[in-house]
Amino acid sequence: MTLWWIGDIVLLVVIVPIVVYLLNGVLSAARSIVPSVRQIADVAAAGSKDLDATALLLTTQDQVRQTVAVVASYGGSLDVIIDDAEEA
Amino acid sequence: MPAAGAVLLVTVVLIVLALVFFLVSTILQLRAITAGLDDVIAGVGEILEKSAPVNAVVDDINANLDAGVDLLEGLLVKKAGMDDALGLVDGLYPGAAAAGFRQFPDSASITPPRIGEVYTKGTLTLARLGREAPIAMANPAGPVLRNVEGGSLAARLLYPDGRQERPENLPRSPVIGTDAPTQYEQREGGGQPRKRLPAR
């Protein structure tokens, strides 16, 4: 009978606090992850919104092509109009 | 049932209740984490989808710009000569001659002429834009220097000391007559010819 009582005391004084401590640690860790995940989700959404302007790169690409074509045409005309530099 | 057995039973029940409480709370938090990660994955997926064509487009833009730069460098060197071309570039963008032209690696070792110190910035701008181009019309450093549609007064304002030599307001003509604010004494012999001094 004495051993039963010793077992009960060990269970109450040692096992129960250890179990509660460990479970509380797991719960605290899980709770601390939630705000971080929410912040990451907000940042990902903001980053995705910032990239909405990337579609304009296609316009830029087209404008650059046209500009370089005009410059090439202008350069060709200048090449005909202006004399070459004299060789030193 | 002995008292020790009852205490044991109550203790086990307490442990089970603690397990249930904490594990259920942990499960709820993990579900919240899963929902948040779903949002993250959706956002990252959008980022990947939107940024996927960026590399190809930017590479194409860079290739076109490289072709334009090579063309203009080659034309400038062909028409102005290597030395003067470097001087022009260095006059417009001080220090740029140190890098030289991309198509001409040896140009980095050439000492450019000091064209920027001999000619004014406006001359270099004209050389850059062409003779009939409006001077500094698109210069981000300041307002347009010359109103291409207005009169020549704007050009005169460029050099106020050198060009505007006459006074702003000429003195007024004197008021004469009996009502003049300044009355002068009538000289003797009014109406008569002036006395002429004897010639020496």
Query: Predicted ipTM?
Result: 0.71
Q: What is the spatial distance between Cα B112 and Cα B90, in angstroms, rounded to a whole number?
A: 7
Q: Is residue B110 part of a domain?
A: yes
Please count the structural domains in chain B: 1
Whether B13 shows a pLDDT value over 70: the answer reads yes
Comparing C-alpha atoms, which of A30, A50, A8 is closest to residue B51? A50
Yes or no, beta carbons of A71 and B29 under 8 Å apart = no
- Condensed to tens digits (0 to 9), the pLDDT of residues B167-185 reads 566 667 777 777 787 777 7
pLDDT at B127: 58
Percentage above 70 pLDDT, chain B: 68
Asked if the structure places residue B147 within a domain, the reply is: yes
Q: What is the mean pLDDT of chain B?
A: 77
Q: Do the chains contact at B57 and A58, CB–CB below 8 Å?
A: yes
Q: How far apart are CA B116 and CA B114, in angstroms?
A: 5
Chain segment A69-82, per-residue pLDDT in tens? 999 999 888 888 88
Residue among B107, B130, B123 at smallest CA distance from A75:
B130
Domain assignment of residue B32, yes or no: no
Regarding predicted confidence, which is higher, B105 or A64?
Answer: A64
Cα distance between residue B43 and residue B23, in whole Å: 30
- Tokens representing A72? 């090439």
Q: Does residue B108 have a pLDDT over 50?
A: yes
Closest CA to B107 of B66, B73, B71, B64: B73
**Structural domain spans, chain A:** 2-81
Q: Is B120 domain-assigned?
A: yes
B130 backbone φψ class: left, alpha, beta (φ>0; ψ -120 to 50): left
pLDDT of residue B158: 47
Interface test with A, best of B12, B37, B57, B62 (most A CBs within 10 A): B57
pLDDT on residue A66? 94
| pLDDT tier for residue A63 given thresholds of 50, 70 and 90 | very high
For residue B197, tell me if it sits in a domain.
Answer: no
**Domain assignment of residue B49, yes or no:** no
Query: What is residue B161's predicted lDDT score, i.e. its pLDDT?
Result: 52
Q: In sequence order, what E strands does chain B have?
A: none
Nearest by CB to residue B75, choosing from A57, A68, A79, is A79
pTM recorded for the entire structure:
0.53
A17 Cα to chain B: minimum distance (Å): 9
| Measured distance between the N- and C-terminal CA atoms of chain A, rounded to whole angstroms | 117
Confidence of residue B1 (pLDDT cuts 50, 70, 90): low
A:B CB pairs within 8 Å: 141
Of the candidates A1, A33, A85, the beta carbon closest to that of B80 is on A85
- Structural domain boundaries enclosing B84: 65-163
Arithmetic mean of pLDDT, B77-81:
87
Chain B touched by A53 (CB under 8 Å) = no
pLDDT of B113 strictly over 70: yes
Q: What is the C-alpha to C-alpha distance for residues B40 and A12, in angstroms, rounded to an integer?
A: 44
Closest by Cβ to B51, choosing from A1, A51, A86: A51
Judge whether residue B125 has pLDDT over 70: no
Confidence band of B128 (pLDDT split at 50, 70, 90): low
- Is the per-residue pLDDT at A83 higher than 60? yes
Residues 19-48 of B with CB under 8 A from A: 19, 22-23, 25-26, 29-30, 32-33, 36-37, 39-40, 42-44, 46-47
pLDDT, greater one: A9 or B184: A9
Using CA atoms, how far apart are residues B71 and A72, in angstroms rounded to an integer?
7
Q: Do B4 and A11 touch (CB under 8 A)?
A: no
Chain B residues 111-170 with CB within 8 Å of chain A: none
Question: Does the CA dihedral A63-A67-A70-A72 come out positive or negative?
Answer: negative
Minimum Cα–Cα distance from A28: chain B residue: B26
Q: What mean pLDDT is predicted for residues B132-141?
A: 48
What would the mean pLDDT of A21-42 be, rounded to a whole number? Answer: 92
Q: Quick one: pLDDT at residue B176?
A: 77
In terms of CA atoms, which chain B residue is nearest residue A20?
B18
Sole residue written with tokens 């990451």: A40
pLDDT of residue B65: 92
